[in-house]
Structure formats: structure tokens, C-alpha cells
């Protein structure tokens, strides 16, 4: 089995057809020796490429120049084809199924013009017998027309492919896929070659040569093993085909199918993207240069793709790749193929390798990448194709394209985890630690691939992985628990008596607190939804929700972030009532401590000043003390922003506190300029209130997708309700923000129920 | 022949399955179901807000048996499914005219 055998089959067919053609010619001229002219037999499609599997059709075209009568032509064609149909050829190794057409030059051109499949078949035309000049003309016309009319033909091709993919599904993930028709299959390879021949765009076909060779050999082995001409790789054939081709088992075979299909599909998707966006970037059409928008340190957007800036890949910036990936996913764009290749090359040369543990920025970028929902999938796929994911996260290697041959699952292990993360991204508002939810979702099945219990094995693998990503000890413990027990809620809810206190106690013995409970619940939902309807239904969701509510009501404690503590030094200066600003460098970020005379609206004023200084707030802890407020901000620098200094921030806050500087208008302008960048759909913000969390304050918790000026908007909405913020705890996890505000009436004391509802309503309005 | 249908609490499915297998029943059909009987759904209180769970998740189990076995199999199911509390479910039997095993074409008791 292999290219040589497929070629031999094509050669054998050539010999047989040639002999039949000559015999028919002789018969036509009653044995007289007449030179062959005006008629030819050509191979098209797969046969034209010399690739014949045992079950392939013989795609042939008989071209003539209309010099024969209808009767003569019919006799000629019949005497070529009937021996094949009847199996009366000297060789038995040639296909008996013939797909033929008989046309003149102009009919051929006309057919190609109206039928895309004919046009594509002709691109591979090859002379088998007869008048070579006729075949040369057809070939010339076919390629010429294909190139000239590429815009129309390629858009037809796109529709054709989309229809076929819709019907046949994805080769990489189906349990019994069609090797030819499914997305990423052999027909897509032919389509890619046709796109390349159109000259409309450069297609790096060498990227799919390994995939093509694997898929073609598997198809050939399937035909031989099954003795049938079907291309669907059924369960019952997988073991036999694996054995014939020397794979360890059917899993290894299906893994190879998945890997090949993904390589083909990735090339296809990036080719369409480049075709769709070439020359569409504004001035690009005139200047022959794309419009480039800088969107982060070392990364830009061009041709609707995120690209790495020239010279950005360096030893000093190991976070570049993750930053680009997170940015691409959050903007809903692709990561360019060239950038991925560049990144992979540098990683192979040990340039830009992430340190252990990762810096905070890298961890947050990973969370922002996973948290982008379905926009993450093409970015992740691009990184995985270049083996960048495995370079960052070596544990990923063991689940890459790993098939799950059971009817519950519809994806390979790695894709299932990516899909779980996509579903988890929609649930981030339901939990207080979206970062832990997303990471647990992405790695919950990392232990699969051996005969051991995958949850236990996963727990062992996630521990060092989470430490390397840079999580603290408590977070690592939570992640280990989530991975180890990701099936606990589903299994308990369906198999144990929920009315029995012992059932609730058994769950509480594993889950330490409310925060972990809500994380595990969200993870169970995301896992179930990603697995598919066979594993997750309303029926099961109801049972799991019932269990969670029972456990929740049996648990005590609070999930509200506590108020920050102040140092004696901070308290001492706060009592002075003056403005003081200090700036410290902290890793790649800046810590800014501000002590300022307290007044309503201080939080939004300071947030606004930092925003205008192009400082991105990662976290903040603020607390009122006496006549001042003490604020500790952790900020990261926007690309091209000046280095922050205490003097500059001091002056800006001073100006703003005096009501000068037109803060609000400038913030609005800045928000507007951001809104010109593309965006992705995100879950709506959630505002929750807690009246029992503190005796002196009412607590508001805002969970939202991070956006420019978010904190300014929140602070501003609260101030407009004439409410004072006593403490604020601001956290950004990847692209998600959780802000907890301890609020009082200006005169002191917590808010009434009516006032609480009013503030919550205003907050929701401000964020919508 | 009879078709025995049982509506059970989901967590009791394994017990009932094991008991039926021990009794010699080799095949059954299980599906997810939701509903309520005399227990009429129930009311939950969560963070001060009351909400009613209308339809309670249940499991529906179906077994085909010979007439002579009906009472014994119902007894096995009831015994295994019982917790003594409200919402344990119901078991009933209905007459069956004909049964055909698709693969072999066997009919009647032979097809059970």
C-alpha cells in the first residue's frame, strides 16, 4: 500500500485503456492504418493525478473534434468502455466503475464554465491515448479559465465546501468519518490544490503533504480491507485498517486521522481568511501596504489578523506569544499563520521560552485567551498546529488528537477540553474566580490517555502545571480538587439519594467552601454541555442543580471579598489629610499607593486619572480611614504609554480633585476610540448585593468583562446615587473583572432595601 | 406477555438493575423522565426566594416479561426501589400482543 501501488494501479489502467482505445480506432477504420487525429482519451480528477485506490472511479474524458458521425462516435466509445464494465480486460487490477464524458473542445469548456466539479477535475487532466494536441488545448483552456475567473469560481467553491462540511461533519472528530467528504478530508485537499492553481493566493501546499499521504493510504487500506468502495471508516474496519498500516491500535489510527484532518482544515481556514481579507484594509489597496494598528507591546492587527511586529520575538519578552494569542481571541480575530511559524521557530531555538513559574502577565493572558469563548478556538488551533501549545504546556502533548471512542463524546480529548473552556467562558459571571474555572475547564481531562482513573491522574498532572503557570498554593489546591472531582456532582446527583443527609455530607467532605462549590457546579455544566446531549440534558442539569442547592444551604460562610487592612504607617498619614502618591516597580507592573483626602467620587476620579495616563488597572484595594482614603493600585502599562511617575500622577489627581481637567469627557473619548476595535460576544455583567456581609455597609459586587474605563463607570454611577464607597476590592482575572464595593449613605450606615435596589439598577444601566 | 413499566428515583436505578439481573431478567430499556405524582413537585427556599420545582427528574424503566413472571418481577422492582419516603415512584404492567426479535424474526415468548 502506498503511492507506488496507487501509481501502479493508474499505470495499469492507462495501459488497458490505451489498448482498448487503439483497438476501437482500428475497428473504426476497419483495420486500415490511419493516424489517430481529432480524438483522444484523457484521465481527469484523481485518476488524472495518478492516484488510484482500489475503489476509485476511473474518471475519463473522451475529447473529439466532431469529425465522426454520432453513430461512429457511439460505437467507438462503447468499444472502449464495455470491456471495462463487463470485466473483460486483460488486467483485473483496474477499477470497473467508470465515470466518463464524451465532449468536443467547446462542449468541455462550456461544461467547465457551468459545473464547478468539471472545472476542478480538468485541472488534473492527463493524456492517456490519442490526439495529444486536443488534451493540451483542454488543459490550456481549463487552467486559463480557472485563473481568469478565479474570483467567481472560488466563491462557488466556498459555498460547495460549506454545504459538504455541513452534510459530512468534521473528519477529525467523527467516530465513523468519511475520509473523502468530511471537513479536513481528501476532497478538501483537492480543493486547496485548486485554490493554489488559481494563482489568487499563495497556498503553502507542503504543509499538508504528510496529511495527504496518511489519509490516502488509510483510504486505500480501507478499500482493500473492506472489499468495498465506500470511504466511510466504520468502527468494524478501524482495527483491521490499523493492523494493515502498522498502527499500534485503532486509537493510534484515529489519532492520525484527526491530526491529518486538522492540518488540512487549518490550512483551508487560513487560506480562506487570507483570500477574504487581502487588500481590504483601507489604504492597502492604493499603497500596496496593509493598514497596521498597534494593539499591544510587539503586536498589531493587519488584514484582520493579529501579527507579531518585526523584531518583536526576543529573549526578553517570553510573554509575547501569549499576549498576541489573548489579544487575537479577545478581539475575535485570527492569529496569523506566519506569526505562529515565527513563534514556533524561535521556541525551537530556545528564544522566548517562558520561565518557571510564569510571570503574572503570562498567566493572565492565558486566562484571557481561554475566556474568549468560541473566538478562542481558531487561535488555539493555530498555536497547536505549530506545536506552540505543547511547548508552553508539555502536558498537552499526551492528549493531542487523542480519540475517545465512545458514543458519549463527539470530540477528541484536546478538542473536548477546548470546547469545555468555551462553555465555561459563558458561565464566568456565575463564579467568583473565573480564572480558576477556565483553567480547570481547559485541563479537566488532562489525565486521559492511559488505563488509570483519569481524574486521579489529572489531579497529579494539574498540580505542577498550575504551579508553573504561577498560581499560589491555595489556588493550586482548588484546581487539583476541581480536576480530581470534576465528575463528583454529576455522579452523586444521578446515583445517590439527594434527600439523604449522608449524601450532602459526603459532598461537603470533599468541597471545602461555597467558592469551590460554585466552581465545581459551573465546571460540571461546561463539561456536560461540551460533551453533548448524550451526556447532558435538562434532566441531569436539574438533578445537579438540586444537589448543589442542598449542599449550598448546608454550608456556611460568605463569598464576598473582605475589606482590606491598613498598616499603621498608612493610618498615620491618612490622619494628616494630605495627598501623597508613591510609585513602585513590581515585575512587569507598577504598584501605585495613593493617600488622598476622602470625598464622594474619589474612586472614580482616581480611576479616571489612571485610565487617562494609559495605565490598565489589574487590581486595587481602597479603604477610607478618618478624613482620607488609602488606595493601593496595581497597574500595567499600555503600549507606547509613558512610564508613570509619582509627580505626574500627583499633579493629575490634584487637578482632577479641584474639578479641572474635564475628566469625564476625556474618558468618554478614550472609551470611544477603543470601541473602534473589533469585539467578541461576552456574558452580560452581573450586579449582586449583600446586606448581611457587613453590619456597617451594604456590599455591591459587580462581575463584568473588563473594558476601558470600567471602574470609572462603576464609581461614577455610585457617586451619582449619593452613596459613599468606604472600601473597594478590584480584581482583574484575565479579561474578567470582579469589583466588590462596601458602600454607605453619605451620612453613614448601610443602605435601605429600596436604596440598595436603586444603586444596583443604576449600576446595571451604567454597564449595559 | 406483559410490558412492565416502572418510574423510579434516579439513584435507585442501579439497585433495581442489579436486582433484576439477579432475578434473571436480561434486557431492559431505561430512559430519563420528568414528572410528579402525589408529591406534587416541591418548594425550595434559596437566599430568601422561594421557588417551586414542578417536574422532578425520574428514571423510566421498561421490561418485557412472560405472563407467569409478571408478579415476581414487579415484586423485585418494588422491593429494590423502595426507600419508604414520598416520591418513590410507581410500577405498572400492560398486556402485550406480540413481540418480534428484529435480528432473528423470533416471535412471542421466544423473542423476550
> Which pairing describes strands A126-130 and A615-625: parallel, antiparallel, or unpaired?
unpaired
Q: How far is CA A519 from CA A436, A456, A632, A640, in A?
A: 8, 18, 28, 38
- Contact between chains at B57 and A539 (C-beta distance less than 8 A): yes
What is the reported pLDDT for A707?
Answer: 85
Q: What gap in Å lies between CA A496 and CA A506, rounded to an integer? A: 10
Which residues are bridge partners to A745 per DSSP?
A723
Minimum mean pLDDT range among A269-273, A346-350, A532-536, A577-581: A532-536
Our measurement of the distance from residue A328's CA atom to the centroid of its chain's CA atoms, rounded to an integer in Å, reads: 10
- Residue with more model confidence, A677 or A40: A40
Distance from CA of A742 to the nearest CA of B (A): 20
Which positions in chain A touch B57 (Cβ < 8 Å)? 539-540, 542-543
Spell out which residues of chain A touch residue B14, defining contact as CB-CB under 8 Å: 495
Q: Coil, strand or helix: which one is A133? A: helix
d(CA A761, CA A766): 9
- Residue B84 to chain A, least CA–CA distance (Å): 12
In whole angstroms, how far apart are CA A430 and each of A482, A629, A766?
Answer: 16, 31, 20
Nearest chain A residue (CA) to B11: A495
Q: What does the angle CA A709 – CA A710 – CA A712 come to, to the nearest 5 degrees? A: 65
The answer to whether the CB atoms of A497 and B57 lie below 8 A apart is no
Highest mean pLDDT among A434-448, A678-692, A700-714: A434-448
Q: Taking residues A144-148, report their average pLDDT.
A: 94
Minimum-distance CB partner of B14 among A495, A539, A543: A495
CA distance A497 to chain B (A): 6
Instruction: For residue A420, name the pLDDT band (cuts at 50, 70, 90).
Output: very high
- Interface check for A553 against chain B (CB to CB < 8 A): the answer is yes
Record: contact B44-A494, CB cut-off 8 A = no
The chain-wide mean pLDDT, for chain A, equals 90
Q: Which residues from B are below 8 Å from A497, CB to CB?
A: 9, 11, 83
Taking the C-alpha atoms of residue A615 and residue A618, their distance in angstroms, rounded to an integer, is 9
User: Which pLDDT value is given to residue A285?
Assistant: 45
Give the Cα separation of A419 and A427 in Å (integer). Answer: 13
Secondary structure, 3-state, A254-274:
HHHHHHHHHHHHHHHHHHHHH
CA A170 from centre of chain? 15
ipTM, two decimals, is: 0.71
* CA nearest to A692, candidates B48, B49, B43: B48
Answer yes or no: is pLDDT of A662 > 90. Answer: no
From the list B23, B28, B24, B35, the residue with the least C-alpha distance to B4 is B28
- pLDDT attached to residue B38: 63
Beta-strand ranges (E) seen in A184-277 are none
- Mean predicted confidence (pLDDT) in A522-540: 90
CA–CA gap between residue A632 and residue A618 (Å, rounded)? 11
Q: Are A94 and A13 in contact (CB under 8 A)?
A: yes
Per-residue pLDDT reduced to its tens digit, A487-522: 999 999 988 888 888 999 999 999 999 999 999 999
Nearest residue, CB atoms, B11 vs list A495, A540, A549: A495
β-pair partners for A704: A737
In Å, how far are A162, A277, A280, A290, A419 from A287, measured between CA atoms? 34, 16, 12, 8, 41
Q: What is the mean pLDDT of residues A592-621?
A: 91
Count the alpha carbons within 13 Å of A360 in the hemisphere toward its beta carbon. Answer: 13
Asked whether B97 and B108 are in contact (CB, 8 A), the reply is: no
Higher pLDDT, A336 or B54: A336
Please give the Cα distance from A420 to A438 (Å, whole number): 9
Chain A neighbors of B55, CB-CB under 8 A: 542
In this predicted structure, what is the pLDDT of residue B54? Answer: 64
Choose among B34, B83, B85: nearest Cβ to A539: B34
Rounded CA separation A743/A601 (Å): 12
A766: left (phi over 0), alpha (psi -120 to 50) or beta: alpha
Note the pLDDT of residue A284: 42
Q: What is the domain extent for residue B41? A: 2-111
User: What domains sit in chain A, N to C, each tagged with a CATH number?
Assistant: 3-148 (3.30.460.10), 151-277 (1.20.120.330), 299-392 (1.10.110), 410-556 (1.10.3210), 568-767 (no CATH)
Q: Which of B7, B8, B9, B10 to mutate to test the interface with A (most CBs of A within 10 A)?
A: B10
Q: Please give the residue of chain A at the shortest CA–CA distance from B48.
A: A553
- Residues 6 or more apart from A710 whose CB is under 8 A from it? A704, A737, A739, A767
Restricting to A residues 470-529, those with a Cβ less than 8 Å away from any Cβ of B are 493-499
- Say if strands A736-745 and A698-705 run parallel, antiparallel, or are unpaired: antiparallel
Q: For an interface test with B, which of A489, A493, A499 has the most B Cβ atoms less than 10 Å from its Cβ?
A: A499
User: Per-residue pLDDT for B49 more than 50?
Assistant: no
Between chain A and chain B, the number of residue pairs with CB atoms below 8 A apart is 33
Residues from chain A that touch B33, judged by Cβ atoms under 8 A, are 539
Confidence of residue B50 (pLDDT cuts 50, 70, 90): very low
- The three state secondary structure string of A426-454 is CCHHHCCCHHHHHHHHHHCCCCCCCCCCH
For residue A63, what pLDDT is reported? 94
- Residue in B with minimal Cα distance to A493: B11
Q: What is the per-residue pLDDT across A463-490, written as a single tens digit (0 to 9) for each?
A: 999 999 999 999 999 999 999 999 999 9
Question: Considering its fold, how many domains does chain B have in total?
Answer: 1
- Could you give the count of Cα atoms lying within 13 Å of A148 in the half-sphere of its Cβ? 7
> Within a 10 A sphere around the Cβ of A464, how many other Cβ atoms?
12
Q: Dump pLDDT digits (tens) for B70-84.
A: 999 999 999 999 988
pLDDT at B39: 58
Q: Which positions in chain B have a beta carbon within 8 angstroms of at least one beta carbon in chain A?
A: 9-11, 13-14, 32-34, 44-46, 53, 55, 57, 83, 85
> Which residues share a beta bridge with B7?
B60, B90
Which H/E stretch holds residue B33? strand B29-35
The per-residue DSSP string of A299-362 comes to EEEETTEEEEPTT---TT-TTHHHHHHHHHHHHT-EEPHHHHHHHHHHHHTTSSPPPSSPPHHH
Question: Has residue B47 got a pLDDT over 60?
Answer: no
Question: Collapsing DSSP states into helix, strand and coil, what is residue A737?
Answer: strand
- Peptide bond just before A357 cis, omega within 30 deg: yes
Does B11 contact A542 at a Cβ distance shorter than 8 Å? no
Q: Look-up: residue for cell 492511559?
A: A450
pLDDT of A260 > 80? The answer is yes
Q: Does A692 touch chain B (CB under 8 A)?
A: no
Can you give the pTM of this predicted structure?
0.84
Question: A539, A544, A549: best mutation site toward chain B, by most B Cβ within 10 Å?
Answer: A539
| Strands of A98-104's sheet in order across | A98-104, A58-64, A39-43, A126-130
DSSP A245: H
Nearest by CB to B57, which of A496, A497, A543?
A: A543
Assigned C-alpha cell, A593: 499607593
pLDDT of A519 = 97
Q: Which three cell numbers stand for residue A563?
A: 475589606
CATH number at residue B90: 3.30.70.120
**CB contact (8 A) between residue A497 and residue B53:** no
Nearest to A194 by CA among A134, A271, A114: A271
Distance from CA of B58 to the nearest CA of A (A): 8
How many whole angstroms separate alpha carbon A413 and alpha carbon A396? Answer: 10
Q: What is the pLDDT of residue B48?
A: 41
Chain A: closest CA distance from residue B50 (Å): 12
Q: Which of A489, A474, A377, A398 is nearest to A443 (CA)?
A: A398
Give the rounded percent of residues in chain A with a pLDDT score beyond 70.
Answer: 98
Q: How confident is the model at residue A691 (pLDDT cuts 50, 70, 90)?
A: confident
Cα nearest neighbour of B31 on chain A = A539
Least confident of A609-623, A724-738, B46-60: B46-60
What mean pLDDT do residues A281-289 have?
49
The pLDDT, as a whole number, for residue A694 is 81
> Could you tell me if A552 lies within 8 Å of chain B, comparing CB atoms?
yes
| B46 contacts A542? CB cut-off 8 A | no
Q: Which residue from B11, B55, B57 is facing A497, i.e. has the nearest CB?
A: B11
Give the integer Cα–Cα distance in Å for A175 and A172. 9
Contacts of A498 in chain B (CB under 8 A): 11
pLDDT, tens digit (0-9, with 9 covering 90-100), for A561-600: 888 899 999 999 999 989 999 999 887 789 999 999 998 8
Is residue A589 a contact partner of residue A360, using CB atoms and an 8 Å limit?
yes
Q: What pLDDT digit, counting tens, does each position of A712-730 carry? A: 889 889 888 999 899 999 9
- Minimum distance, in Å, between the CA of residue B1 and any CA atom of chain A: 31
DSSP designation for A657: H
A469 burial class (0-12, 13-18, 19+ CB within 10 angstroms)? buried
What distance separates the 2 farthest-apart alpha carbons in chain B?
60
The span from the CA of A314 to the CA of A321, in Å, is 11
Whether A603 and A628 have beta carbons less than 8 Å apart is answered as no
CA A561, CA B53: separation in Å to the nearest integer? 32
Phi, psi of A594 (to 5 degrees): -125, 125
pLDDT in tens, A747-767: 888 999 999 999 999 999 988
Task: Give the model confidence (pLDDT) of A183-230 as tens digits.
Answer: 999 999 999 999 999 988 889 999 999 999 999 999 999 998 888 888
Quick one: closest CA in B to A491, which residue?
B11
User: How many Å apart are CA A498 and CA A448, to the nearest integer?
Assistant: 30
Task: Give the three cell numbers for residue A651.
Answer: 499633579
Q: Which three cell numbers stand for residue A727?
A: 472600601
Point out which residues pair with B89 in neighbouring strands: B8
Long-range contact set of residues A678-681: C-beta below 8 Å, sequence gap at least 24: A678/A304, A678/A331, A678/A332, A678/A333, A679/A330, A679/A331, A679/A332, A680/A329, A680/A330, A680/A331, A680/A332, A680/A372, A680/A373, A680/A375, A681/A373
Residues of chain B neighbouring A553 (CB-CB closer than 8 A): 45-46
pLDDT value of residue B35: 81
* pLDDT higher than threshold 90 for residue A314: no
Rounded to the nearest angstrom, the minimum Cα separation between B28 and chain A is 18
Higher-confidence position of A141 and A665: A141
User: In the 8-state DSSP scheme, what is residue A354?
Assistant: P
Amino acid at each position: 500500500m502506498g503511492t507506488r501501488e496507487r501509481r501502479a494501479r493508474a499505470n495499469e489502467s492507462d495501459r488497458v485503456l490505451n489498448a482498448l482505445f487503439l483497438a476501437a480506432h482500428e475497428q473504426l477504420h476497419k483495420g486500415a492504418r490511419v493516424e489517430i487525429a481529432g480524438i483522444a482519451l484523457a484521465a481527469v480528477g484523481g485518476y488524472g493525478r495518478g492516484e488510484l485506490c482500489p475503489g476509485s472511479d476511473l474518471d475519463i474524458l473522451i475529447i473529439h473534434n466532431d469529425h465522426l458521425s454520432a453513430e461512429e462516435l457511439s460505437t467507438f466509445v462503447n468499444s472502449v468502455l464495455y470491456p471495462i464494465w463487463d470485466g473483460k480486460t486483460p488486467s483485473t487490477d483496474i477499477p470497473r466503475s467508470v465515470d466518463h464524458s464524451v465532449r468536443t473542445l467547446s462542449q468541455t469548456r462550456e461544461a467547465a464554465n457551468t459545473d464547478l466539479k468539471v472545472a476542478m477535475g480538468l485541472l488534473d487532466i492527463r493524456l492517456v491515448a490519442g490526439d495529444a494536441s486536443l488534451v493540451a488545448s483542454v488543459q490550456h483552456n481549463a487552467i486559463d479559465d480557472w485563473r481568469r475567473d478565479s474570483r467567481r469560481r472560488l466563491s462557488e467553491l466556498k459555498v460547495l465546501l460549506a454545504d459538504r462540511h455541513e452534510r459530512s461533519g468534521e473528519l477529525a472528530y467523527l467516530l465513523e468519518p468519511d475520509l473523502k467528504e468530511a471537513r479536513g478530508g481528501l476532497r478538501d485537499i483537492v480543493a486547496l490544490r485548486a485554490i493554489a492553481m488559481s494563482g489568487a493566493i499563495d497556498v503553502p501546499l507542503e504543509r499538508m503533504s504528510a496529511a495527504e499521504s496518511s489519509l490516502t493510504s488509510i483510504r486505500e487500506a480501507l478499500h482493500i480491507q473492506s472489499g468495498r468502495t465506500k470511504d466511510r471508516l466504520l468502527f468494524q474496519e478501524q482495527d483491521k485498517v490499523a493492523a494493515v498500516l502498522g498502527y499500534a491500535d485503532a486509537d493510534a489510527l484515529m489519532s492520525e486521522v484527526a491530526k491529518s484532518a486538522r492540518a488540512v482544515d487549518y490550512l483551508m481556514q487560513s487560506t480562506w481568511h487570507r483570500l477574504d481579507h487581502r487588500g481590504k484594509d483601507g489604504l492597502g489597496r492604493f499603497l500596496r501596504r496593509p493598514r497596521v494598528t498597534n494593539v499591544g507591546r510587539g503586536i498589531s492587527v493587519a488584514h484582520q489578523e493579529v501579527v507579531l511586529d518585526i523584531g518583536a520575538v526576543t529573549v526578553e519578552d517570553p510573554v509575547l506569544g501569549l499576549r498576541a494569542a489573548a489579544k487575537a481571541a479577545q478581539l475575535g480575530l485570527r492569529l496569523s499563520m506566519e506569526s505562529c511559524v515565527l513563534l514556533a521557530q524561535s521556541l525551537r531555538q530556545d528564544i522566548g521560552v517562558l520561565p518557571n513559574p510564569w510571570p503574572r502577565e503570562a498567566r493572565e493572558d492565558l486566562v484571557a485567551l481561554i475566556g474568549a469563548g468560541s473566538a478562542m478556538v481558531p487561535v488555539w488551533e493555530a498555536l497547536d498546529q505549530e506545536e506552540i501549545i505543547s511547548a508552553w504546556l508539555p502536558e498537552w502533548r499526551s492528549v493531542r488528537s487523542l480519540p475517545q471512542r465512545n458514543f458519549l463524546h463527539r470530540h477528541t480529548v484536546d478538542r473536548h477540553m477546548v470546547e469545555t473552556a468555551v462553555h465555561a467562558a459563558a458561565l464566568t459571571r456565575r463564579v467568583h474566580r473565573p480564572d480558576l474555572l477556565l483553567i480547570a475547564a481547559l485541563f479537566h481531562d488532562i489525565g486521559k490517555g492511559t488505563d488509570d482513573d483519569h481524574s486521579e491522574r489529572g489531579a497529579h498532572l494539574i498540580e505542577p502545571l498550575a504551579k508553573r503557570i504561577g498560581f499560589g498554593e491555595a489556588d493550586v489546591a482548588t484546581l487539583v480538587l476541581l480536576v480530581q472531582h470534576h465528575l463528583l456532582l454529576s455522579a452523586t446527583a444521578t446515583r445517590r439519594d439527594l434527600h439523604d443527609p449522608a449524601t450532602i455530607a459526603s459532598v461537603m467532605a470533599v468541597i471545602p467552601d461555597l467558592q469551590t462549590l460554585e466552581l465545581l457546579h459551573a465546571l460540571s455544566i461546561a463539561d456536560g454541555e461540551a460533551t453533548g446531549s448524550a451526556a447532558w440534558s435538562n434532566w441531569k442539569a436539574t438533578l445537579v442543580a438540586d444537589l448543589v442547592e442542598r449542599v449550598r444551604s448546608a454550608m456556611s460562610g460568605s463569598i464576598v471579598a473582605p475589606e482590606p487592612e491598613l498598616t499603621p504607617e498608612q493610618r498615620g498619614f491618612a490622619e494628616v489629610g494630605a495627598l501623597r502618591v508613591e510609585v513602585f516597580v513590581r515585575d512587569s507592573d507598577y504598584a501605585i499607593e495613593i493617600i488622598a483626602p476622602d470625598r464622594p467620587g474619589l474612586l472614580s476620579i482616581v480611576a479616571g486619572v489612571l485610565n487617562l495616563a494609559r495605565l490598565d488597572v489589574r487590581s486595587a484595594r481602597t479603604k477610607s480611614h478618618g478624613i482620607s482614603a488609602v488606595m493601593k493600585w496595581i497597574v500595567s502599562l499600555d503600549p507606547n504609554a509613558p512610564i508613570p511617575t509619582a509627580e505626574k500622577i500627583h499633579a493629575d489627581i490634584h487637578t482632577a480633585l479641584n474639578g479641572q481637567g474635564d475628566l469625564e469627557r476625556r474618558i468618554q473619548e478614550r472609551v470611544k476610540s477603543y470601541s473602534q476595535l473589533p469585539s467578541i460576544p461576552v456574558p452580560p455583567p452581573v450586579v449582586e448585593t449583600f446586606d448581611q456581609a457587613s453590619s456597617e455597609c451594604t456590599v455591591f459586587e459587580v462581575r463584568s468583562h473588563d473594558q476601558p474605563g470600567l471602574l470609572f463607570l462603576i464609581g461614577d454611577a455610585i457617586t451619582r446615587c449619593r452613596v459613599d464607597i468606604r472600601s473597594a476590592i478590584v480584581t482583574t482575572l484575565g479579561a474578567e473583572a470582579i469589583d466588590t464595593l462596601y458602600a454607605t449613605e453619605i451620612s453613614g450606615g448601610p443602605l435601605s432595601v429600596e436604596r440598595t435596589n436603586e444603586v444596583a439598577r443604576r449600576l446595571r444601566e451604567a454597564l449595559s | 406477555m406483559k410490558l412492565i413499566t416502572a418510574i423510579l428515583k434516579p439513584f435507585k436505578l442501579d439497585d433495581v438493575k442489579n436486582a433484576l439481573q439477579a432475578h434473571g431478567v436480561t434486557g431492559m430499556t431505561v430512559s430519563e423522565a420528568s414528572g410528579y405524582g402525589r408529591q406534587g413537585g416541591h418548594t425550595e427556599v434559596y437566599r430568601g426566594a422561594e421557588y417551586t420545582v414542578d417536574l422532578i427528574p425520574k428514571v423510566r424503566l421498561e421490561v418485557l416479561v412472560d405472563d407467569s413472571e409478571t408478579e415476581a418481577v414487579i415484586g423485585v422492582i418494588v422491593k429494590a426501589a423502595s426507600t419508604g419516603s414520598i416520591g418513590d415512584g410507581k410500577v405498572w404492567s400492560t398486556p402485550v400482543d406480540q413481540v418480534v426479535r428484529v435480528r432473528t424474526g423470533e416471535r412471542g415468548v421466544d423473542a423476550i
